[in-house]
Amino acid sequence: MNENIAIRKLGRRLRLGIAGGAGHSLIGPVHREAARLDDLFSLDAAVLSSNAERGDAEAAALGIPRSYSSTAEMFAMEKARPDGIEAVAIATPNDSHYRILCEALDAGLHVICDKPLTSTKAEADDVLVRAKAAGKVVVLTHNYSGYAMVRQARAMVAAGELGKIHQIHGVYALGQMGRLFEADEGGVPPGMRWRIDPARGGDSHALVDIGTHVHHLATFITQLQVVEVMADLGPAVQGRAAHDSANVMFRMENGAFGSFWATKAASGASKLAIEVYGDKGGVLWEQADANNLLHMRQGQPPALIGRQVAGLHPAAIRAMRGPGYHFVEGYREAFANMYVDFAEQILAMMGKGAADHLALEAPSVVDGLRSMAFIEACVASSQDRQWRQVEQVS
């Protein structure tokens, strides 16, 4: 991934705007770094904050040439410019995603959006209709699918190397909510306030914020969809209103068993892992050892697959920026792979040659819609303590 495809195909970088990312933003700075890592985008405009004065000051400090007070203003003003932005990154709180997506698509922009796509499945349905009508690219940053070894696992499953898939299990455990910080004199940390407000962050914080990442990894690696769920959602810490934990059992469309545990109340923890098993063997990927993939084979010793290129599937090689034995890559590089896929799809839409077919595997509106259907089924299951069908999206 050393070639600048934008310069080669277009003669310049793609022009990008960003919404969100000021103050206590966790993910906004990551979007800015990821967009620039492979030099495919120039960051030309921004609405970094709902506070226009603060947004202007931060944009000036970051060297972003044009700052606006609202996304509506940015889209209108940029559309009138001959050198206006062609795409926008959405890194705002969850409850604003749908509105900004609609504004951006109406303005003729391609969109890369932080997850979740929207707050409800009905909104996600509408975004899918709008994106198709506008003929624009929408990529959803389920960024863990950008890791080279996650893409290796997907390719191995597709090649039949694990056989028929019958087990998928995952965990995403963090510790930020391991104590009742709501009872502290200072209250909820600023970056958590909107996240644990159901009106802004979604009905189940742990499920929406991190559980959906495990759901997406399971479907991305296996290319199978979840059809049924049994979920237990809520607070593990007594006295808390927001959901800090989610336990989910699920069944895949081929009958495979699945489960995951997602929590922010595992004090001291920082763990993300996914394992997939078939009738020939299995794979285990852990973010703590992201550059390796454990391949378990029936009747043979386990094999550790690293980033040494030789023997890797093309999907994994494409996600790397240099020889595996020299370049150790992590979260930001995986996130940047979302932007590489995004750029390839945009260039193809602009008539600058076909996109690499692997770029089309990036999470899309359809993935966002499936996530919302999964979330709604899990919330309903947890409320009535019964298995629930997940509405299928073709």
The confidence score (pLDDT) of residue 187 equals: 80
* Residue 180, domain CATH: 3.30.360.10
- Stretch 5-12: mean pLDDT: 94
User: Do 76 and 193 have their domain in common?
Assistant: no
Position 52 in a domain: yes
Domain range for residue 304? 148-326+368-384
User: Do 157 and 210 have their domain in common?
Assistant: yes
Confidence of residue 192 (pLDDT cuts 50, 70, 90): confident
Q: With 0-12 CB in 10 A as exposed, 13-18 as middle and 19+ as buried, what is 240?
A: buried
Domain boundary residue, one of 85, 116, 144: 144
**Strand, helix or coil for residue 109:** coil
Confidence of residue 339 (pLDDT cuts 50, 70, 90): very high
User: Do 113 and 223 have their domain in common?
Assistant: no
The confidence score (pLDDT) of residue 264 equals: 96
Report whether pLDDT(313) > 90: yes
Position 230 in a domain: yes
The confidence score (pLDDT) of residue 26 equals: 84
Closest CA to 303 of 292, 312, 313: 292
Closest CA to 18 of 94, 114, 88: 88
C-alpha 173/C-alpha 244 separation (Å) is 10
C-alpha 50/C-alpha 194 separation (Å) is 14
Report whether pLDDT(1) > 60: no
What DSSP designation does 393 have? -
Q: Are 240 and 173 in contact (CB under 8 A)?
A: no
Q: Tens digits of per-residue pLDDT, 287-300? A: 999 999 999 998 89
Confidence of residue 324 (pLDDT cuts 50, 70, 90): low
Position 155 in a domain: yes
User: Do 49 and 76 have their domain in common?
Assistant: yes
**Which tokens in the block code for residue 302?**
């386990």
- Stretch 184-203: mean pLDDT: 83
User: Do 72 and 114 have their domain in common?
Assistant: yes
Position 344 in a domain: no
User: Do 211 and 249 have their domain in common?
Assistant: yes
**Which tokens in the block code for residue 107?**
């303005």
Report whether pLDDT(327) > 90: no
The confidence score (pLDDT) of residue 54 equals: 93
Position 341 in a domain: no
Q: Tens digits of per-residue pLDDT, 138-153? A: 999 999 999 999 999 9
Position 331 in a domain: no
Q: Tens digits of per-residue pLDDT, 214-235? A: 999 999 999 999 999 999 999 9
Confidence of residue 309 (pLDDT cuts 50, 70, 90): confident
Q: What are phi and psi of 234, to 5 degrees?
A: 160, -170
- Stretch 165-182: mean pLDDT: 95
**CB neighbourhood size of 195 (10 A):** 21
Q: Tens digits of per-residue pLDDT, 245-283? A: 999 999 999 999 999 999 999 999 999 999 999 999 999
User: Do 140 and 164 have their domain in common?
Assistant: no
H or E stretch including 348? helix 331-349
Confidence of residue 2 (pLDDT cuts 50, 70, 90): low
> What sign does the CA torsion over 111, 116, 121, 123 have?
negative
**Strand, helix or coil for residue 385:** coil
Q: 1 vs 324, which has greater pLDDT?
A: 324
The confidence score (pLDDT) of residue 272 equals: 98
User: Do 129 and 186 have their domain in common?
Assistant: no
User: Which ranges in 49-142 belong to alpha helices (H)?
Assistant: 52-62, 71-79, 97-106, 121-134
User: Rounded to the nearest 5 degrees, what angle is found at the Cα of 361, between the Cα atoms of 355 and 362?
Assistant: 95
Q: What are phi and psi of 195, to 5 degrees?
A: -65, -35
Domain boundary residue, one of 109, 144, 179: 144
The confidence score (pLDDT) of residue 211 equals: 97
* Residue 87, domain CATH: 3.40.50.720
Confidence of residue 44 (pLDDT cuts 50, 70, 90): very high
User: Do 304 and 157 have their domain in common?
Assistant: yes
How many domains does the chain divide into? 2
C-alpha 327/C-alpha 129 separation (Å) is 41
Q: Are 179 and 267 in contact (CB under 8 A)?
A: yes
Position 337 in a domain: no
**CB neighbourhood size of 297 (10 A):** 13
**CB neighbourhood size of 360 (10 A):** 13
Position 393 in a domain: no
pTM score of the predicted model: 0.95
- Stretch 1-11: mean pLDDT: 85
User: Do 165 and 313 have their domain in common?
Assistant: yes
Q: What are phi and psi of 74, to 5 degrees?
A: -60, -45
On the question of a cis peptide bond just before residue 363, with omega within 30 degrees of 0, the verdict is: no
Domain boundary residue, one of 118, 144, 170: 144
C-alpha 389/C-alpha 379 separation (Å) is 12
Q: Which residues pair with 168 in a beta bridge?
A: 258, 276
User: Do 157 and 102 have their domain in common?
Assistant: no
Closest CA to 167 of 157, 176, 159: 157
Report whether pLDDT(91) > 60: yes
Report whether pLDDT(378) > 80: yes
Q: Which residues pair with 174 in a beta bridge?
A: 270
Closest CA to 170 of 266, 263, 274: 274
**Strand, helix or coil for residue 222:** helix
The confidence score (pLDDT) of residue 32 equals: 96
Contacts of 53 (CB under 8 A, 6+ apart): none
On average, the pLDDT of the chain sits at 94
- Stretch 110-137: mean pLDDT: 96
User: Do 152 and 92 have their domain in common?
Assistant: no
